[in-house]
Amino acid sequence: MSRIKNPTKISTIVGELYKIIGLDEAYQQYKTLQIWNTVVGEAIAEATVLERFSAGQLFIRVKNPAWRLELNFRKKEILEKLNNSLDKVLVKEIIFR
In a domain, 3, yes or no: no
In a domain, 2, yes or no: no
Question: Which residue would you say has higher pLDDT here, 89 or 68?
Answer: 68
In a domain, 1, yes or no: no
In a domain, 81, yes or no: yes
Provide the pLDDT for residue 10. Answer: 80
1 band by pLDDT with thresholds 50, 70 and 90: low
Provide the pLDDT for residue 18. Answer: 72
86 band by pLDDT with thresholds 50, 70 and 90: confident
Q: What is the CATH number of the domain that holds 46?
A: 3.30.300
Provide the pLDDT for residue 75. Answer: 94
How many domains does the chain fold into? 1
Domain range spanning residue 43?
10-96
77 band by pLDDT with thresholds 50, 70 and 90: very high
Each as own residue / partner, the long-range contacts of residues 66-71 (CB below 8 Å, 24 or more positions apart, any chain) are 68/96, 68/97, 71/44, 71/96
**pLDDT tens figures, 24-66:** 777 777 777 788 888 898 999 999 998 888 888 989 999 999 9
